[in-house]
């Protein structure tokens, strides 16, 4: 039986309901799909189409045909382990709802947000089924990757190979484009994203699609939703066409920013020199206001560096020399900085910054 059918059936068994296909069947795609030696039966394809539409069928066939390999991210040994988004509250649902999509408590909100965003109802329904199907598949992928006998890189690759989430990007990914002249990436807490937006840049959470996903509580288990943000961030970065401003309040080598987004941008830079990275070291005052750190360790409204090492060095030196340990607003960044220096993760950060 096809792996997607197994996932859906497992969810149905868990939730005590029969699988009720909601989306239309497209006979032309079924005929085309069955012409390939993919190992999928017509019933498998029919079920897949009903659950996620034709794009999921096409992607699944591409990855299952002999000699074909999974799409981007499926074998990336450096897949990030940390995603910085807002975590679920105690009221977040504990079911997947993939087999009863209309019963998910966030379905009315999703419909409303998609309608306000100008999405057709058919796109909304398909996108919602892809999101919920992604939760189910991610649950299975996480369980499979929990096997400690598997190489760590392979385990990360499995967790990052959610094809339902990738199909969501194929369906509505164009709505991840920036709405301002410049793109923003960030690390150090969600209010850094809001700070970047206040400076006239667009971060992922403020794109047309990002705003919608950011307001949803899909599942109580954050590990099922976090990979969706990884997929969205990858697609977001791929749309960079000009300067990209990177805002750092803390440096975490395992963050999506450092482990995924920046390496992507380095590749894009080789193809498009207009994609320039500008790094901003941040510090949060006791009153919650965010400022940037100049080369002479002064707080200012704008301090951009073309070197990541210089940016991190300035930020670390400010935390080491000037940070007030009674300032709780910056305590997390100070704690992370000390942990990294103790582990000798970034020895360059211990050097004194040079002016300019």
The per-residue pLDDT for 84 is 59
Residue range 291-328, pLDDT digits in tens: 999 999 999 999 999 999 999 999 999 999 999 999 99
CA trace torsion 108, 111, 117, 119 (10° rounding): 180
Q: Is the pLDDT of residue 235 over 50?
A: yes
Residue range 195-232, pLDDT digits in tens: 999 999 999 999 999 999 999 999 999 999 999 999 99
Region 94-103: mean pLDDT is 94
Are 305 and 314 spatial neighbours (Cβ–Cβ below 8 Å)? yes
pLDDT band for 86, please (50, 70, 90 cuts): confident
Neighbours of 196 (CB within 10 A): 26
Q: Which residue has the higher pLDDT, 129 or 189?
A: 129
The per-residue pLDDT for 173 is 92
Which two tokens mark 348?
Answer: 């360059």
Percent of the chain residues past pLDDT 90, beyond the cut: 60
Q: Which residue has the higher pLDDT, 77 or 240?
A: 240
Are 337 and 313 spatial neighbours (Cβ–Cβ below 8 Å)? no
Burial label, 225 (beta-carbon count in 10 A; 0-12, 13-18, 19+): buried
Buried-exposed string 227-249: b where 16+ CB fall within 10 A, e elsewhere: bbbbbbbbbbbeebeebbbbbbb
As a whole number of angstroms, the distance between CA 53 and CA 128 comes to 11
Buried-exposed string 307-320: b where 16+ CB fall within 10 A, e elsewhere: ebebbbbbbbbbbe
The per-residue pLDDT for 344 is 56
- Mean pLDDT is lowest, of 17-26, 108-117, 250-259, for 17-26
56-65, 250-259, 347-356: which has the highest mean pLDDT?
Answer: 250-259
pTM of the shown model: 0.73
């Amino acid at each position: 039986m096809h792996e997607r059918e197994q996932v859906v059936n497992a969810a149905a068994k868990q939730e005590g309901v029969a699988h009720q296909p909601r989306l239309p069947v497209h006979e032309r795609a079924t005929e085309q799909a069955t012409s390939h030696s993919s190992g999928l039966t017509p019933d498998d394809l029919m079920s897949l189409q009903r659950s996620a539409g034709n794009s999921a069928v096409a992607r699944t066939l591409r990855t299952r045909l002999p000699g074909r390999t999974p799409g981007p991210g499926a074998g990336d040994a450096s897949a990030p382990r940390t995603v910085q988004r807002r975590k679920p509250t105690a009221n977040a649902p504990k079911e997947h709802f993939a087999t009863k999509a209309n019963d998910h408590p966030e379905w009315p909100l999703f419909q409303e947000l998609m309608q306000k965003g100008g999405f057709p109802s058919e796109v909304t329904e398909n996108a919602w089924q892809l999101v919920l199907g992604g939760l189910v598949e991610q649950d299975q992928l996480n369980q499979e990757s929990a096997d400690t006998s598997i190489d760590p890189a392979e385990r990360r690759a499995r967790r990052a190979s959610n094809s339902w989430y990738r199909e969501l990007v194929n369906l509505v990914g164009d709505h991840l484009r920036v709405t301002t002249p410049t793109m923003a990436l960030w690390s150090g807490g969600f209010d850094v994203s809001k700070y970047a937006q206040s400076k006239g840049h667009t971060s992922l959470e403020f794109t047309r699609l990002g705003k919608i996903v950011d307001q949803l509580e899909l599942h109580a288990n954050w590990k099922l939703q976090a990979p969706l943000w990884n997929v969205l961030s990858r697609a977001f970065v791929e749309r960079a066409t000009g300067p990209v401003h990177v805002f750092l309040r803390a440096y975490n080598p395992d963050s999506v920013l450092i482990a995924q987004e920046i390496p992507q941008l380095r590749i894009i830079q080789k193809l498009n020199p207009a994609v320039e990275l500008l790094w901003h070291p941040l510090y949060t005052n006791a009153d919650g206001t965010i400022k940037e750190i100049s080369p002479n360790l002064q707080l200012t409204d704008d301090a951009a560096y073309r070197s990541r090492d210089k940016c991190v060095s300035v930020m670390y030196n400010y935390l080491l020399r000037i940070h007030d340990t009674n300032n709780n607003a910056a305590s997390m960044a100070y704690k992370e900085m000390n942990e990294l220096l103790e582990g000798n993760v970034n020895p360059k950060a211990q050097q004194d910054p040079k002016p300019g």
